[in-house]
Structure 1
Amino acid sequence: MNKFDDQATKALLEKNLITENQYQEISAYRSLNIFSLNAELKLFLYLSVLLFTSGIGILIYNNIDTIGHIGILSLLLVVIGVCFYYCFKNSKGFQKQETTFEHPVLEYLVLAASILTCIFIGYLQFQYKPFGSNFRLATLIPTLVSFFCAYYFDNKSVLTIAITGLAAYVGLSVTPQDLLNNSNFYEDQSLSYSAIILGVLLVLWTIYSSRNQLKVHFNIIYLTFALHIISIAAISSLFEYFENGIWFLFLIVLAASSFYFYKISHELKAISLYVFMIIYAYIGINIFFIRIMENINFSDVWVLFIMILPIYFIGSIIMFIKLIKTFNKEIAA
């Protein structure tokens, strides 16, 4: 047992939170130096699913002419059917509270089945176009399947696929690289509104879920997506449409979003939400000040401005660290 654990256990004993006998049992157990491989095994299972589904894609690409489209689709359908059969057979059914499979492998079978369903629908639409030119409908179907699987089997990984599909349905790409480099926000202003509305709907769903105790542990995923989508859409629009006069609307959206996620991060004790909220708010504030300064003549005080700038950034870093430390103390209290 390391020194920190020993001191923590002694503190519990001194506060009479545990008995002397319990202290001896804890010390004896920790002296065995037993550690869990649960996280490592789950990581390997997750990588196995990703490698398997990636292998299916490579197999389709390299053997498209020899296997044939019908053969590939049939193979995918059989694998999907087998995965779902075992998952439904061993599941506890839908429950509003958090549930788990008795065997963790089945959780990753659900993930594999969901990913393969997306591949199947996408390949079917690409090759045979059963939905015509309506690619949004082809996106919506695997999204609905993923939402069903996420809630029925209580799978957070599948839920992320479902939310990503929902964002794609409204025209968004929610990978970090695409969001930061997505020119659609600049070319199509309505896409910014769609992104903000989608983020607000995700937040409203978390409020509804909390009131009805419906998979409350999913809320952190919904809120994470909502924070990124709303903030990036608002920041992109604030940067692009400053001269149009509507920039103030996006500034209000960003401020309201930052205030809400500031509160909810404390309620959920979610440091990830808190950190990204600070980053997005800081970026928005700096864009606003830069836009304001563009209309100010700094020719007379340019040297002073250059001298203050490093102090500003150093002070920002110190303030960021201080805010994180304060947050950690608050949630630990």
Structure 2
Amino acid sequence: MVKFETEATKSLLDKNLITENQFNEIVAYRDLNIFSLNAELKFFLYLSVLLFTSGIGVLIYQNIDTIGHIAILSILLIIIVVCFYYCFKHSKGFQKTETAFENPVIEYLVLAANILTCIFIGYLQFQYKPFGTHYGLATLVPTIVSFICAYYFDNKSVLTIAITGLAAYIGLSVTPQDLLNNDFYGHQNLSYSAVLLGGLLILWTIYNLRINLKIHFNLIYLTFALHLISIASISNLVDYNEDGIWFLFAIVLAGSSYYFYKISHEIRAISLYVFMIIYAYIGVNIFLFRIFEFIDFSDVWALFVLILPAYFIGSIILFIKLIKNFNKEIA
């Protein structure tokens, strides 16, 4: 790696893109072997927040009979108020553009306060039912709080919680495991809800661009939209047997793939590009198999089996080539 960096820097000098003095300064700086711990420290801060909030959940579960409901809710509320007070005191206030705290620890205090708020409202509803039988409100209220916190404090982690809560409010689970297990076939309205929510998230990103509102949030919205639309469409391509409906979802998947192909280049997001290719590839193969159901392969079945390995090898080569071309374009 060091040899590669040295050669790259030397090539810049040979092309007269940097001066001899600049080259010597770069080499001298690299010889110091200084490296940043910023990413590692932030990871441990994030891990500490997760462990702290998980620990509170375990503590409540194991001592619910001895501590008492009022005491637990009071302790949670005190911690939430203290965290939010400190965060509001040191925040720069709401701004339409990307902002950051001077102290990165505060960003994780916002995350902790938000998670504890969700725990507080959920526990309050479970024990005392302030929303009555309207259990959706117990999901909607912390979702609204999460959106407010995400935009006010410019926190992407809280925004992820907010979008997840919004999906849960309409009946979807959007964790990687639960999203694959959503019963789109048994509850067809879930498919339409997933596609509709994904479409609304895309429209919101377009609106954000027009008014220049937290544009850096768009990648998160688009990531959720891509997964929601694609998985709902693929699920119905496989399982939904009503005539014509599977073809409709094939069109939705094709339109979605085209849009995310364009937008991934515009915002230079390789994550969107890679997942778009994967979902499109799966959709194309399922679509072909659905078409092949109407074709008799009894006479050419042996030829089809021989071609199949070459098809998959060619697909892998094409996938690698597409990724390399994308990296060249955004470089």
Normalising to structure 1: TM-score of the pair? 0.97
Structure 1 runs not aligned, ≥5 long: none
Query: Paired residue for 1:228?
Result: 227
Distance 2:165 2:103 in 1: 28
Tell me if 1:48 matches 2:51.
no
Q: Which residue of 1 aligns with 2:100?
A: 100
CA–CA distance in structure 2, aligned partners of residues 243 and 296 of structure 1: 20
Q: Which residue of 2 aligns with 1:278?
A: 277
Q: Distance in 1 between matches of 2:105 and 2:180?
A: 35
SS at match of 2:109: helix
1:174-213 map, 5 Å:
174-183=174-183, 185-213=184-212
* Farther off after superposition, 202-211 or 303-312: 303-312
Counterparts in 2 of 1:29-48, with a 5 A limit?
Answer: 29-48=29-48
Distance in 1 (CA, whole Å) between partners of 2:312 and 2:298 is 22
Work out whether 1:288 is the aligned partner of 2:287: yes
Say whether residues 1:71 and 2:66 are aligned partners.
no
Is the Cα–Cα contact under 8 Å of residues 150 and 156 in structure 1 kept in the other structure?
yes
Contact 1:146–1:158 (Cα < 8 Å) also in 2: yes
**Contact conserved, 1:143 with 1:165, CA < 8 A, in 2?**
yes
Aligned pairs for 1:20-35 (under 5 A) are 20-35=20-35
Bigger Cα displacement from structure 2, 97-106 vs 294-303: 294-303
Which position in structure 2 is the counterpart of 1:241?
Answer: 240
Distance 1:280 1:305 in 2: 24
Aligned to 2:14: 14
Q: Give the distance between the partners of 1:15 and 1:211, measured in 2 at CA.
A: 40
The amino acid that maps onto 1:26 is I
Q: How far, CA to CA, are the matches of 2:229 and 2:155 in structure 1?
A: 24
Separation in structure 1 between the aligned mates of residue 217 and residue 257 of structure 2, nearest angstrom: 21
Deviation at 1:241, TM superposition (A): 2.1
| 1:209-242 CA-partner distances (Å, limit 9, x unpaired) | 1111111111100000000001011111122224
SS in 2 for 1:289: helix
Q: 1:42-76: CA deviations, max 9, x gaps? A: 00000000000000000000000000111111111
In structure 1, what is the equivalent of residue 261 of structure 2?
Answer: 262
Instruction: Please state whether the residue corresponding to 2:185 is helix, strand or coil.
Output: helix
Match of 2:111 in 1: 111
Q: How far apart, CA to CA, are the structure 2 residues paired with 1:5 and 1:23?
A: 12
The residue type paired with residue 287 of structure 2 is F
> Is 1:158 the equivalent of 2:158?
yes
AA aligned opposite 2:156 = K
1:242–1:291 CA contact under 8 A, matched in 2 = no
The whole-number CA distance in structure 1 between the counterparts of 2:240 and 2:315 is: 26
1:17 offset after TM fit, Å? 2.7
Q: Percent identity?
A: 79
Unaligned stretches of 5+ residues in structure 2: none
Q: 213-222 vs 293-302, which deviates more?
A: 293-302
Q: Match of 2:304?
A: 305
1:196-217: CA deviation from partner (whole Å, max 9, x where unpaired): 1100110111111111111111
- Counterpart-to-counterpart distance in 2, 1:249 and 1:304: 31
RMSD: 1.1
Deviations 1:123-182 (A, max 9, x none): 111111111111111101000111111111011000000000010011110011111121
Whether the 8 Å contact between 1:13 and 1:20 is mirrored in structure 2 is yes
TM-score by length of 2: 0.98
Amino acid of the residue matched to residue 327 of structure 2? N
Report the residue type matching 2:177 in the other structure. Q
Deviates more, 1:9-18 or 1:65-74: 9-18
Residue 252 of structure 2 aligns with an amino acid whose one-letter code is V
Question: CA offset at residue 16 of structure 1?
Answer: 2.8
Aligned to 2:170: 170
Question: For residues 275-332 of structure 1, what are the alpha-carbon distances to aligned partners after superposition, in whole Å with 9 as ceiling and x for unaligned?
Answer: 0001101111111111121222222222111111111111111111111111111111
Once the two structures are TM-superposed, the CA of residue 262 in structure 1 deviates from its matched residue by 0.1
Counterpart Cα distance in 2 of 1:38 and 1:239: 45
Residues of 1 paired with 2:41 and 2:146: CA distance? 24
- SS of 2:116's partner is helix
